[in-house]
């Protein structure tokens, strides 16, 4: 390998169009050996397209690359590989039926006199997994592994011969917290060995933890470039979303629900002993009603009770005017109630199932009657319907695993499943907890799109900016009771915090 830090990759004036639409408008990027460049941007900004050009997967329409001092106008994947460029793709690019060892040598089979050397395949795998300090069964088919483990295999493949530039495209979307820590440790180790790292993310905490420099793309342009130590969260967010985020704005399509309608959901004098009391509320079709309160104020318990996770001690619930009792989630779903819990990683999301299957999950019992072939076809129909309606950004592929979508898009899929189920009432608990600021705006748009389909949406949240951005009306809870009701221009962060604290 060259001396420490000597590798350099420069992209200059890169332009790229797809079907006549330009998605990169003359972009510059610099990756330097021994440092981590975070490439930031919202979904659709052009990050993946840019790094696919660097990996030789796409040809730029204009622009040039200089790699290790050599100017190239275009690259193919083989040439990129010879330059030491390795890519971990956003979507898993492995071969599920093949073993761990085979996947690590995929496309670069060690051979002697034209015959694949299976001993060498195993030795190579063993060596690289040892370097990475991970313990995986070399003979297990990767299709049987968890997504995080499959990603480790992808990393092992990328590193199984000398890498000088490693590109990771949103690698943590499907990883658990300890897996993220381990990935960061790999990345730091490689950086210290002089590898140039390009790390794509839209998670700002990862930028702080990992990056030396930051380049922000927005709609195909570089809008910010600098040392990460000089850039605070606010600067990064406003570069990503293109506006100042300090001023939280009310959505434009807020409306007063038609009060002549029957409420989609109504609670009268509802209480759960020890959690909340005397809760009266009505959510009308087509509106978003937010229950706002600090932790422990009772908002999550009200949401849980509507979905049958807590039994009402007193009071009644009505769905579209019909008195309804729900003894559990199955009854709630049958009554037309959908629910999105705060912890999506553990509850409700089937990360290693496809987007189409996830969209159809609450309808599985209905679909089960039809057998596999028809079910697949119905899932594909559901996929096409909601993919566009909720602007889910993914490959145009119903079979794509949920885990490979960004957090915000996973959330949209989970919203879409309740539309597919034709729920009249949707209960969302902390819908953007752990979601980055940019993706949050998209989720708010999806929630409002849901309401505009005629669903009555009840959001339980402890985030007052969320209340301002998503609600038609808001009820503030404190110590288990509703203490204020706000609508229209009265929904401000100042009012909300004042009422919740008082
Ligand atoms: P990011 O990775 O920042 O989310 P992408 O590079 O994937 O963004 O996409 C940038 C834009 O280019 C998007 O509008 C996307 O729809 C479009 N795009 C990406 N790849 C293709 C493709 N193969 N064909 C057509 N459009 C594409
Ligand atoms: Mg991408």
The full DSSP string for 319-350 is ETTEE---SSHHHHHHTTEEEE-S-TTTTT--
The residue to mutate among 16, 46, 52, having the most atoms of ligand 1 within 8 angstroms of its beta carbon, is 46
The average pLDDT across 447-463 equals 89
Higher-confidence residue: 131 or 153? Answer: 153
| Percentage of residues in the chain having pLDDT higher than 90 | 43
Distances in whole angstroms, Cα of residue 11 to Cα of each of 51, 222, 361, 455: 10, 12, 44, 47
Nearest-CA residue for atom 12 of ligand 1: 23
Q: Stretch 77-95: mean pLDDT, rounded?
A: 87
Residue partners of 319: CB distance under 8 A and separation at least 6 = 264, 265, 335, 336, 337, 424, 425
44 C-beta closer than 6 A to ligand 1: yes
Q: What residue owns the CA closest to ligand 1's atom 23?
A: 18
Ligand 1 binding pocket includes 45 (Cβ within 6 Å): yes
Is the C-beta atom of 171 inside 6 A of ligand 1? Answer: no
329 lines ligand 1 (CB under 6 A): no
Which of these ranges, 41-55, 102-116, 323-337, 447-461, has the smallest mean pLDDT?
102-116
For residue 50, the ligand closest to its alpha carbon is 1
Instruction: State the pLDDT at residue 40.
Output: 93
Domain ranges of the chain: 4-246, 349-422
If we measure between CA atoms, which residue out of 332, 343, 309 comes closest to residue 411? 343
Return the higher-pLDDT residue of 381 and 79. Answer: 79
Residue nearest to ligand 1 atom 18, measured at CA: 18
For ion ligand 2, residues whose CB falls within 5 Å: 48, 90
Ligand 1: residue of 41, 43, 48 to mutate (most ligand atoms within 8 A of CB) is 48
Output Rg (C-alpha) for the chain, integer angstroms.
Answer: 25
Residue 140 has pLDDT above 90, yes or no: yes
pLDDT greater than 90 at residue 148: no
**Whole-number pLDDT of residue 17:** 95
CA of 393 to the centre of ligand 2 (A): 9
User: For 412, which DSSP code?
Assistant: H
48 Cβ closer than 6 Å to some ligand 1 atom: yes
- Residue 477: pLDDT over 80: yes
- Ligand 1 centroid to Cα of residue 23, in Å, is 7
Ligand positioned closest to the Cα atom of 392:
1
| Residue 214 pLDDT level (bands cut at 50, 70, 90) | very high
Of residues 92 and 81, which shows the higher confidence score?
81
Name the pLDDT band for 251 (thresholds 50, 70, 90). low
Which residue carries 């000398």 as its tokens? 162
Quick one: pLDDT at residue 4? 46
Is the confidence at residue 61, as pLDDT, over 50?
A: yes
249, pLDDT greater than 80: no
**In testing the pocket of ligand 1, which one of 25, 38, 44, 239 has its CB within 8 Å of the most ligand atoms?**
44
Relative to the CA of 58, which ligand 1 atom is closest?
A: 23
Alpha carbon separation from 23 to 10, 17, 27, 115, 338 (Å, rounded): 19, 6, 10, 44, 37
Candidate from 21, 23, 88 with most ligand 1 atoms within 8 A of CB, to mutate: 23
Confirm or reject: Cβ of 226 under 6 Å from ligand 1.
no
> Could you tell me the distance, in angstroms and rounded to a whole number, from the CA of residue 182 to the centre of ligand 1?
29
pLDDT of residue 55: 94
Q: Which two tokens stand for residue 134?
A: 């991970």
- Using pLDDT thresholds of 50, 70 and 90, give the confidence band for residue 246: very low
Assess whether the C-beta atom of 49 lies below 6 angstroms from ligand 1.
yes
52 pocket-lining for ligand 1 (C-beta < 6 Å): no
Give the list of residues 6+ apart from residue 32 with CB closer than 8 angstroms, or none. 5, 7, 8, 9, 196, 213
- Closest residue by Cα to atom 22, ligand 1, is 18
Structure tokens at 274: 């020890």
3 state SS of 361 = helix
Number of Cβ atoms within 10 Å of the Cβ of 310: 18
Query: Whose Cα sits closest to atom 16 in ligand 1?
Result: 44
47-51, 73-77, 321-325: least confidently modelled range: 73-77
Indicate whether residue 370 lines ligand 1 (CB < 6 A): no
201 lines ligand 1 (CB under 6 A): no
Out of 15, 18, 50, give the residue to mutate to test ligand 1, the one with the largest number of ligand atoms within 8 Å of its CB: 18
Mean pLDDT of the chain: 85
Q: Which of 91, 16, 9 is nearest to 46 (CA)?
A: 16
Atom of ligand 1 nearest to the CA of 46: 6
Q: What is the mean pLDDT of residues 257-285?
A: 88
The pLDDT value recorded for residue 109 is 85
The residues, any chain, with a CB within 8 Å of residue 434's CB and separated by 6 or more, are: 407
Q: What is the DSSP string of 257-299?
A: --TTSPPSEEEEEEEETTTEEEEEEEE-TT-EEEEE--TTSSH
More confident residue, 290 or 420: 290
Q: Say which CATH topology domain 4-246 has.
A: Rossmann fold (3.40.50)
Give ∠ CA 193-198-202 in degrees, rounded to 5.
135
- Ligand 2 centroid from CA 44, angstroms: 7
Burial class (CB in 10 A: 0-12, 13-18, 19+), 12: middle
Residues 6 or more apart in contact with residue 477 via CB below 8 angstroms: 276, 291, 292, 293, 297, 298, 299, 302, 483, 500
DSSP secondary structure letters along 93-135 = ---TTSBHHHHHTTT---EETTEE-HHHHHHHHHHHHHHHT--
Mean per-residue pLDDT, 204-228: 92
- Please, where are the H alpha helices in 307-456? 329-334, 355-360, 364-367, 371-389, 407-420, 437-452
Q: Which ligand is nearest to the CA of 217?
A: 1
Listed residue (435, 501, 432, 434) closest to 467, CA to CA: 432
Cβ of residue 409 lying under 6 Å from some atom of ligand 1? no
Place of tokens 């897996």: 179
Residue 413 has a pLDDT of: 81
Q: Which atom of ligand 1 is nearest to the CA of 52?
A: 6
- Give the angle subtended at the CA of 351 by the CAs of 347 and 352, to the nearest 5°: 135
């Amino acid at each position: 390998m060259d001396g420490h830090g000597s590798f350099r990759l420069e992209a200059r004036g890169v332009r790229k169009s797809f079907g006549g639409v330009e998605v990169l408008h003359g972009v510059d990027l610099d990756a330097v050996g021994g440092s981590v460049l975070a490439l930031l941007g919202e979904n659709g900004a052009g990050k993946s397209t840019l790094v696919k050009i660097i990996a030789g997967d796409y040809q730029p329409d204009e622009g040039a690359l200089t790699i290790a001092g050599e100017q190239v106008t275009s690259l193919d994947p083989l040439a990129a590989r010879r330059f030491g460029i390795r890519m971990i793709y956003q979507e898993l690019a492995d071969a599920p039926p093949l073993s761990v060892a085979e996947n690590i040598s995929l496309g670069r089979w060690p051979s002697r006199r034209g015959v694949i050397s299976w001993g060498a395949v195993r030795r190579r795998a063993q060596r690289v997994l040892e370097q990475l300090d991970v313990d995986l069964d070399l003979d297990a088919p990767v299709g049987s592994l968890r997504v995080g483990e499959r990603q480790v295999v992808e990393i092992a493949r990328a590193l199984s011969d000398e890498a000088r530039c490693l590109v990771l495209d949103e690698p943590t979307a499907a990883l658990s917290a300890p897996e993220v820590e381990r990935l960061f440790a790999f990345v730091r180790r490689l950086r210290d060995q002089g590898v140039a790292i390009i790390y794509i993310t839209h998670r700002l905490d990862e930028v702080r933890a990992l990056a030396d420099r930051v380049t922000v793309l927005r709609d195909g342009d570089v809008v910010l470039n600098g040392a990460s130590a000089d850039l605070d969260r606010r600067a990064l967010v406003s570069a990503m979303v293109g506006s100042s985020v300090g001023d939280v704005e009310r959505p434009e399509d807020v409306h007063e629900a038609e009060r002549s309608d029957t409420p989609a959901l109504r609670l009268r004098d509802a209480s759960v002993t020890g959690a909340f009391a005397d809760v009266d509320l009505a959510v009308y079709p087509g509106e978003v009603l937010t229950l706002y309160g600090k932790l422990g104020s009772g908002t999550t318990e009200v949401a849980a009770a509507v979905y049958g996770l807590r039994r009402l001690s007193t009071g009644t619930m009505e769905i579209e005017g019909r008195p309804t009792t729900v003894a559990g989630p199955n009854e709630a779903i049958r009554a037309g109630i959908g629910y999105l819990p705060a912890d999506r990683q553990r509850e409700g999301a089937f990360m290693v199932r496809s987007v189409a299957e996830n969209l159809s999950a609450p309808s599985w019992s209905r679909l089960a009657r039809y057998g596999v072939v028809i079910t697949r076809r119905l899932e594909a129909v559901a996929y096409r319907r909601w993919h566009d309606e909720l602007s889910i950004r993914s490959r145009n592929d119903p079979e794509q695993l949920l885990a490979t979508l960004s957090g915000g898009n996973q959330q949209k899929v989970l919203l879409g499943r309740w539309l597919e189920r034709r729920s009249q009432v949707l209960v969302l608990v902390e819908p953007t907890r752990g979601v980055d600021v940019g993706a949050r705006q998209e989720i708010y748009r999806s929630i409002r799109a849901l309401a505009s389909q005629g669903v009555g949406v009840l959001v339980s949240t402890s985030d007052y900016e969320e209340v301002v951005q998503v609600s038609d009306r808001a009820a503030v809870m404190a110590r288990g009771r509703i203490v204020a009701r706000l609508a229209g221009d009265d929904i401000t962060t100042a009012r909300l915090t004042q009422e919740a604290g008082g």
